Structure 1
């Protein structure tokens, strides 16, 4: 999609950083439900110089990328079948949260969940961890976050949660076994 923007891995990483701003900035406000998709496009294009059509093409491609990591659904089902209470905390803009609700049986997998766009907050803001604890009817020390962003893992720990940095389903399975959850 971006061969004209990134010929090397380093250029690709810089393009991703410039665009997503570590999921803060424009995209963070979108995740929080504070701006619409059209405002996101306008803001990103104004900031980066990208053409509107190119940004729209990127957003149109996002739903195809919202698929579970290999092995993760199996782990969720294993945990659920073992009686582990499961909830989710996801940074997700409203249109994509609605898509996930339509495409995946979240209600079968999780007792409850929090999408950032519903709370107008997103990870790593400590307030979303507090809000999630309320929604989950849990105590912070009894919550375990699995997340693929180190900053979110650190924020969860700072909020009193346990946290695991997701790198692969195989590694996660081992970490869950070590904790006696599988």
Structure 2
């Protein structure tokens, strides 16, 4: 194993994305996930800006302030930095995140996590999102690794299935407590114990 590839939401960030629905619902209680997430998806593939998401959902006024209010509800898993510092002694580290360019940059800057990664792939930057295999292939190329050289960690089972189809080893970061037959962990300490050979 040469590289560890991590997802962002639901792994490094505590919010798996569901918090956005709750945030929007405080202002627009009648909007359903089917109203909200297709608009978010457009930002995730770089078709619209993150501010346009709020505009299309019906928010008025200072959209930058409203956006920051949402972003600041999202917290990092505090144990990530210790995990990343230790794991980098053994492996290359990469990030694959389905996110708008703007939001990803905000979180990575706020929590100072850019320096942990050798490769960062954001769907909004390259206009491809998981589970499309091309986003994984793009990351592998940047890492200079074969799929079989990598372990991929995500909280979504369908993303793990896409990585497995390419030949990656996978581990579910089970932050949402779902049923899963494969390898799974619930925190970064468990993940480190699986990945670091003593």
Question: Structure 1 stretches (4+) deviating beyond 6 angstroms?
Answer: none
| Structure 1: gaps (5+ residues) | 46-50
- Aligned-residue RMSD, C-alpha: 3.1
Deviates more, 1:157-166 or 1:97-106: 97-106
Gapped regions of structure 2 (runs ≥ 5): 1-22, 176-184
Contact 1:121 1:127 in 2 (8 A): yes
CA drift of 1:72 comes to 2.0
Structure 1 length normalisation: TM-score?
0.72
What is the number of residues matched between the two proteins? 165
**TM-score of the superposition, structure 2-length normalised?**
0.67
Q: Distance in 1 between matches of 2:187 and 2:107?
A: 25
Q: Which has the higher contact order (CA 8 A, sep 6+)?
A: 2
Over 3 Å counting, the alpha-carbon distance change for 1:126 and 1:3 in structure 2 is same
Decide whether aligned partners of structure 1 residues 107 and 39 sit closer, same or farther in structure 2, where only a CA change above 3 A counts: closer
Contact 2:42–2:48 under 8 Å retained in 1: yes
Whichever structure has more strand as a proportion of its residues is 2
1:173 equivalent in alignment to 2:189: yes
SS in 2 for 1:70: coil
Looking at secondary structure, tell me which structure has more helix per residue.
1
